[in-house]
Structure 1
Amino acid sequence: MTKLTYQPTTLENWVSRFYRKNGLLYPDDLYISDISCKLGIYLTMDQPFTYSFEEDDLKLINVSYDLPTHKQREAFFHELCHIFRHTGNQVMMPEAFRELQERDAKHFTIYAAIPFHMLTQYKLKDDQIHWTLAEDFNVPAEIARERVEKIYRNATKKQKMYA
């Protein structure tokens, strides 16, 4: 049986380095309030919709208060990507550029919600692992499923390259 080899992406490595540097080592450490505080981002939950805002030194993420907790975490990581990696007002930008930012935010969300360095304790070959990850990381099951699928897809591509 061939062992899967997986090389984390640059973005995955960046997220893991940031988390480890800030003492975020286990799924139970990933409180959105702590992460936002460490980054100097003002976190609110007082609007019925989710958005991020940045102007000068003010960085703000509002997460909709009426979402279930696992969806709030997904929304937070999505907006965190916009703060970290994007610039400009999406309302004013061309649709193709906005779509590019949204795809990037989706990838970031998966990596930030379930960071690579926290996966070493899990048996990813288990067919039901996404349910365990969803519960442990308090994220929607589809996020966990996609995380595992990305690992297998990228590991398989690498194996084919060297076969």
Structure 2
Amino acid sequence: MSYIYKPFDLEKWIANHYLKKGITTPSLMDIRKIAISFDIQLGFREKRSYSFTYGKSKIISIDSRLTLEEQREQFFHELCHILRHCGSQLVMPKAFHDLQEWDAKRFTRYAAIPFNMLKLFDLKSEYIVDDMAQSFNVGTKVVKERLDGIHRNILYYYNCNR
């Protein structure tokens, strides 16, 4: 039996957006280009990362003191807040805040490592974590979480089809 990965709708949506914008390989995943593709202004400051929407203006500011990998992870996290969330976390109940943070963490894995680019890698390689971390310019923790999710997905569909 072959093992099949079934992407979630959110993963498909992200991948389709990237494909429409010509972002087809990890080397083309420049966060400035991605921000422009969503009509978001992106800036860097020596201040904690944040995002906000005001009318039609969408802004993400990334902490310039972070490493490149951390900046990218923060960008995708804040991108989720812009695209999927509303309201100010400063005044919302803790449960809603926690839910948004959980969603942003999940979104970060999908947006930083899109499923349609997985075919470019040998997922069975003993060096896969380092290879993907280097290619996508994210930390190994994000890659490990993404790969764990992929393996859980495959196992689930394998068990459902037995």
Band of TM-score, shorter chain: over 0.9
SS in 2 for 1:76: helix
SS in 1 for 2:5: coil
Residue aligning to 1:102: 101
How far apart in 1 are the matches of 2:84 and 2:25? 24
Structure 1's consecutive aligned runs of 4 or more residues displaced over 2 angstroms after TM superposition are: none
TM-score by length of 2: 0.97
Residue aligning to 1:60: 59
TM-score by length of 1: 0.96
Residue aligning to 1:86: 85
SS in 2 for 1:45: strand
Moved more, 2-11 or 24-33: 2-11
Residue aligning to 2:116: 117
How far apart in 2 are the matches of 1:103 and 1:160? 26
Q: Is the aligned partner of 1:37 residue 2:13?
A: no
User: Would the aligned equivalents of 1:45 and 1:65 in 2 still touch at CA under 8 Å?
Assistant: yes
Matches within 5 A, 1:142-157: 142-157=141-156
Percent identity, please.
41
Residue aligning to 1:129: 128
How far apart in 1 are the matches of 2:145 and 2:129? 8
Structure 1 unmatched runs, 5+: none
Using the TM superposition, give the Cα deviation of residue 47 of structure 1 relative to its aligned residue in structure 2, in angstroms: 3.3
Structure 2 unmatched runs, 5+: none
Number of aligned positions between the proteins: 162
Root-mean-square deviation (CA, aligned residues, Å) is 0.9
Using the TM superposition, give the Cα deviation of residue 126 of structure 1 relative to its aligned residue in structure 2, in angstroms: 2.0
